[in-house]
Structure 1
Amino acid sequence: MPTNPRSSSRVLTPRTNTLHVPQAKLTTFLPTDSQSKKRHIRDETQSVKRRKLSSPAISESEDDGSDVDVYSEEEEVAMEDARMVQARARRQLAIDLHTQFVSSSASRCRRQAPSTLPILQSFVSSHKSDVFKCQSIGEDTYLTPPYACAYSHGSRRGGNPRLAVATEQGTVHILNTQKRDDWDSEPQRTTLQQHQNGIFDVKWNLSDTSLATSSGDQSTRISSVETGAITHVLRGHASTVKCLAWDPTNESLLTTGGRDGAICLWDLRVGERHKREDTEFLVAAPVMTIHGAHEDTIVKSKPKPRKGKQVPTPRTITNVLYPESQPYGLISSASFDGILRYWDLRQSTTTRKTKSAKRLPPTELYCSPVDPTMLHGSRRSRGIISMTCGTGPTAGLIFALGADSRIHAYDLPTLTAQRAASEHENLQTNSFYVGVSVSPCGRWLGCGGSGTTGNSFLFDVENAARPASIRQKGVELIGQKGEVGAVDWAQDMFATCTDDGTVRIWRPDIGTRRKCAQQPEESRWDWSWAM
């Protein structure tokens, strides 16, 4: 029996032998101390030295107690397999750690934002300092209903809160809605008489220097905010102009939609100069027109009436807007159904051999694949009343108030409607005068409501972009009489217009709201609050 235990594992072979490399023990954890790390790396990277035996026998000089061991080919393969198993174990551990980190990060990203419902429930409005009246220009009435309102772009960024309110009599009131005490008088307002018919939409340009108004007199007019003078008169619709939108990349371009079912695109640099009394203005025609934009026809051309046949009622264009993520696109909605359509506004021409180039109307690239107004048990389609783009956490979404008394969210750029919708048991939309608007922070959405209660509603929509989000119940603002139509947001304030001829401003105030809840009978003479 050999005295040296190492000799029992020594095998003679005419082939090359391998020097012994101590095998590192497999562990389920990575070594942490510096010595273990160095030893771990040395064991992995140590090269395998080979030498060729000159004879089958090993000389006694080589058997003098040295640390050199010789293994067979099978043992070499086994050790190599063990090293590969060890490397795979370390590699798999690193992969598992990375996967765990990524999954935890993704779960944090998917986590829903905390509810801001307590903030919405703190909105209050003073009967004295937060109410503005729209005086009538006629002698038979004192107040006139406001049809549209819009805060300036500076107001949404925290600047001076200027609110443009358009009325049934074609008047525009520019109000300063900054917070003031009950005993302070109303700041001086600017009044512009732009039309002799109702104004259905009003919008500020990007620099807040001009106002665009669309009216029932079939025209759209551009006015200077500083002087009040009319600078442009746009004519091209065959019926009431219901909506308008400024191009966010060029202040000289805007789009309008009307009850005639047409969408008109305008360039304020093109037109004929006219002079009336002491004012000079441009009268312009549309540079491009999309006739029957929401009709079920491929060719969008001006309809030609046939003898003996009644022309069907056109599908009214209720909203047009420019999505920020699509610089050359336009999105429109109509009163017929909940389908949104996307238009490519890049100029296209066709050249004929015998005629000069002819400009073609914008192309409809795609539309909503499903009508969301029919996803909740309705047997027929319902139209879209008002539409607005999300911002901040809701960027990439379009919110549309439908005639089915629900607020639907559409994803950009596919215009696919989400199945879940924001709703309230008291929200009613029986007319096409109710508006919807997203707050500058993008977390809240406000809308008006039809009926005799005169209530408006606030919703927390910060999690609306998450498919699995749970829709929260909206907050009802109580205190106005009649239908609440147009609404709009500025920073830390929400404006609502009622057909009783008043405009009310709502602000978050936790202290006042708590007082109203504790003493409702005494507070109702001075305040209105959220429920």
Structure 2
Amino acid sequence: MSNMDMLCSPQSSNVDLPTSPTAAPSSTAVSSKPRGQPSITPRRFTRFFTPITTRSTTGSKSSKRLKDITKNAVNQVKFTGFHDLPRFETPRKKRKILPTPESSPVQPLDSSPLRPLDYHVPSNLSHRIDYDFDDSDIEEEDEDEEAEEEKHFPAPITRLRDFGTSGRILQRSFGGARGVGRGRINDHCVPDWHAQTADYYTRPEDCHNYRGQALPFCVARCNTNSLVAIGDEEGGVRLIDSAYADNSFSQHHVSFKPHHNAIMDLAFSSDDYLFASASGDQTSRIVDMHTQQTRYVMHSHTSSVKQVRFQPGNDSIVATSSRDGSVMIWDLRCRGQDAPVVDYAVSFEPGNSMVNSARRANTVTYASSVNSMRDAHGLQQESRRSDISVTALSFLSDSRSHLLLTATEANASVKLWDLRGKYTSRRNGPSVPVSSTREPEAHFKHRQFGISSLALSGDGSRFYALCRDSTVYAYSTNHLIMGSAPEYEPSSNTQASKWFRPRQGLSGNGPLYGFRHPMFKSTSFYVKSALRPATSSHPEMLAVGSREGCAVLFPTDEAFLKKKSPQPSSGTSTPIIEQDGASGPRSRTGSAAKLEDTSLPIYNQGTALIRAHGRSEVTGLAWSTEGELVTLGDDFTARCWRDNDRNAAKGMRICGEGQGARWGWGWADVEGYDEEEG
């Protein structure tokens, strides 16, 4: 019998060869008559050499996967000899070998059909072998993969960080929607305003404790580093580093005592070489920061000094305001009077606190004032109120640094002064400012409230007045003077043009809008405000204190403010209402309740920083150069708030009160913000 007959004999058809298709089982009895060679038709030829997956018409998941891995002319192994035949390793489960015309090896002539072929798959060709998987096995594997996919939880969706107005303008330039309105650009890519305030938190190590020694009164930041200075009620000053580090804020670096009474306000020069302080001992001092020694004493006020400010761009000009109702301008370049003074070096170490450890005579310069506005906010028809306290000062920006803003405890009118003018003396009546703002309409209908703090925006276009009616009013600096200003007209007399004498005060516009918050209560003039200018990494932010034991943050980006058309004022009185918008159904009650100014939009878009100071009043605030917020509380502590870890603030909001996880922490209170993020 020839080899070809042996391959076609019935005996050889019973051998399960890797290169031959499996014979279909027959239900009839096997005949002893030799079977002839079957005829080869085109249909049989096509069915024999076509893989099963290409002939499958089912749309099952397993068949689609088999169709992808058993494509024709993909898995090919070229036969180069019997010794190079691949070895098919037996898989874990029984699988049928799918032959292809070029990949099926030809048996040699001397091989026996009963001898199993010993194939070896080279490592570089093993990935090219094609197998015919059973549908049942693949379905089991699919079920296992689906079960594993069900156990995998996708990562939660987090909000994008707000990169400020400049970042949104850049995004809009790459295809975002853009609309140009009248006099401004309407930003359609504005995210949720909570994104600017929700990440603030404070840790237990971000607390500086005075331990009942002296109550902190005021705080000011350095302009060239991350240090902040805190003044207390006993005349001491401590310098603390607000940079992010373990226990860096809990320890002070430098401490000294320039006054013997409470320090009401602090200010640094532009290069941080000089340090100005306003005290209840009726003096203001200029201290050299290299030696912590007093260089200048400004002693002309007859009552406690409330605020002190350096003129922007000129560290030799200093402005002070006092409880006696006067504002005085000092020039440190002018010749003063030298006199000896006794300084006390006080140790702040435990056990030796507030003890005079050294006493030495020193010579200081008593500066003389170059200009003064006596009875700056007094009313001529009310001569009995000639000593109205001037509680707030603020210079305008560098290009208009000769203009000074002042506010008082008597009303909500802000006055504008030009330091180039020569104002009247006290015996001739109160000084007349260049201009004054109009009070809010509600103050005329109910009662007047004073202003405790002024804050100027970074670009100088807005200034914010913290009023004792628990409202922060926003004003436009470009509209302080309305109508003509005869004082600024050129004069033919060159000598008279050097010092103009204001003849009448011009009335300016009132506030543009106001900020309120349920947790913002301003009941004393110790509550202050602080504004962080916009930088490449931080947007502009306004922070205010409150008697409710928290500070409140207000984003000042006017793109967040919803438009509200002014309503005509009616004769009927309506209570003030507030909500997360310009108006709403929530009425205000208490001592600060008043009539609503229907022409003034009020916005409640603020975030409270809670739990850090307990229930004590938060008074002084300051922003560091790196964007941290330092707050002072009546619980004898100073706190540093940071926004560099989003998960820290979020974790404090959702962790609950169990196991003391919130002990010593504080966080931004944004109700519902975390649920929307998930």
Which TM-score applies when normalising by structure 2?
Answer: 0.54
RMSD of the alignment, in Å? 2.7
Counterpart among 422, 427, 443 of residue 515 in structure 2: 422
Alignment-derived partner of residue 431 in structure 1? 524
Alignment-derived partner of residue 454 in structure 1? 549
Partner-residue secondary structure (3-state), 2:513: coil
Counterpart among 563, 567, 571 of residue 468 in structure 1: 563
Partner-residue secondary structure (3-state), 1:382: coil
On the 8 A contact 1:256/1:263 being kept in 2, the answer is yes
Deviations 1:463-487 (A, max 9, x none): 1797937535210111213110000
Amino acid at match of 2:650: R
Alignment-derived partner of residue 87 in structure 1? none
Alpha-carbon distance, 1:122 to partner: 1.5
Q: What does 1:206-245 correspond to in 2, within 5 Å?
A: 206-245=270-309
Partner-residue secondary structure (3-state), 2:238: strand
Alpha-carbon distance, 1:164 to partner: 0.7
Amino acid at match of 1:119: Q
Q: For the pair shown, which has the larger CA radius of gyration, 1 or 2?
A: 2
Residue 339 of structure 1 pairs with residue 436 of structure 2: no
Alignment-derived partner of residue 633 in structure 2? 498
Residue 380 of structure 1 pairs with residue 447 of structure 2: yes
On the 8 A contact 2:279/2:306 being kept in 1, the answer is yes
- Distance in 1, Cα, partners of 2:563 & 2:527: 29
CA 1:362–1:378 in 2, change beyond 3 Å: closer, same or farther? Answer: closer
- Distance in 2, Cα, partners of 1:361 & 1:380: 23
- Distance in 1, Cα, partners of 2:250 & 2:391: 34
CA 1:505–1:104 in 2, change beyond 3 Å: closer, same or farther? Answer: closer
Alpha-carbon distance, 1:296 to partner: 2.0
Deviations 1:15-36 (A, max 9, x none): xxxxxxxxxxxxxxxxxxxxxx
On the 8 A contact 1:115/1:460 being kept in 2, the answer is no
Amino acid at match of 1:500: D
On the 8 A contact 2:208/2:639 being kept in 1, the answer is yes
- Distance in 1, Cα, partners of 2:478 & 2:363: 42
Alpha-carbon distance, 1:501 to partner: 1.3
Partner-residue secondary structure (3-state), 2:195: helix
- Distance in 1, Cα, partners of 2:637 & 2:369: 35
Residue 484 of structure 1 pairs with residue 551 of structure 2: no
On the 8 A contact 1:192/1:228 being kept in 2, the answer is yes
Residue 273 of structure 1 pairs with residue 338 of structure 2: yes
Amino acid at match of 2:410: F
Amino acid at match of 1:331: L
Residue 125 of structure 1 pairs with residue 208 of structure 2: no
Amino acid at match of 2:405: I
- Distance in 1, Cα, partners of 2:373 & 2:267: 22
On the 8 A contact 1:440/1:489 being kept in 2, the answer is no
Residue 398 of structure 1 pairs with residue 463 of structure 2: yes
Structure 1 gaps of 5+ residues are 1-102, 136-141, 155-159, 304-310, 351-359
- Distance in 2, Cα, partners of 1:422 & 1:238: 35
Deviations 1:78-100 (A, max 9, x none): xxxxxxxxxxxxxxxxxxxxxxx
Deviations 1:325-381 (A, max 9, x none): 52321110000111011111115499xxxxxxxxx998611110x202x43785011
On the 8 A contact 1:231/1:282 being kept in 2, the answer is yes
- Distance in 1, Cα, partners of 2:180 & 2:546: 41
Alignment-derived partner of residue 411 in structure 1? 476
CA 1:528–1:262 in 2, change beyond 3 Å: closer, same or farther? Answer: same
- Distance in 2, Cα, partners of 1:185 & 1:381: 40
Partner-residue secondary structure (3-state), 2:411: coil
Partner-residue secondary structure (3-state), 2:433: strand
Alignment-derived partner of residue 72 in structure 1? none
Partner-residue secondary structure (3-state), 1:191: strand
Alignment-derived partner of residue 222 in structure 2? 152
Amino acid at match of 1:268: L
- Distance in 1, Cα, partners of 2:479 & 2:446: 25
Partner-residue secondary structure (3-state), 2:622: strand
Alignment-derived partner of residue 3 in structure 1? none
On the 8 A contact 1:388/1:437 being kept in 2, the answer is yes
Alpha-carbon distance, 1:180 to partner: 1.4
Residue 143 of structure 1 pairs with residue 275 of structure 2: no
Alpha-carbon distance, 1:186 to partner: 4.3
Residue 513 of structure 1 pairs with residue 649 of structure 2: yes
- Distance in 1, Cα, partners of 2:649 & 2:445: 38
**How many matched pairs?**
391
CA 1:361–1:412 in 2, change beyond 3 Å: closer, same or farther? Answer: same
CA 1:131–1:269 in 2, change beyond 3 Å: closer, same or farther? Answer: same
Amino acid at match of 1:248: P
Deviations 1:192-242 (A, max 9, x none): 101111111000011111111111111001101111000001011111110
- Distance in 1, Cα, partners of 2:605 & 2:179: 30
Residue 202 of structure 1 pairs with residue 340 of structure 2: no
Residue 287 of structure 1 pairs with residue 370 of structure 2: yes
Counterpart among 386, 389, 402 of residue 316 in structure 1: 389
- Distance in 2, Cα, partners of 1:366 & 1:165: 34
CA 1:116–1:291 in 2, change beyond 3 Å: closer, same or farther? Answer: same
Deviations 1:262-299 (A, max 9, x none): 00111112311123444221012322211110112399
Alpha-carbon distance, 1:177 to partner: 1.4
- Distance in 1, Cα, partners of 2:296 & 2:655: 53
Residue 529 of structure 1 pairs with residue 529 of structure 2: no
Amino acid at match of 2:321: G
- Distance in 1, Cα, partners of 2:515 & 2:430: 35
Give the 4+ runs in structure 1 shifted more than 6 A.
464-467
Alpha-carbon distance, 1:456 to partner: 1.0
Amino acid at match of 2:273: T
Alignment-derived partner of residue 117 in structure 2? none
- Distance in 2, Cα, partners of 1:517 & 1:292: 50
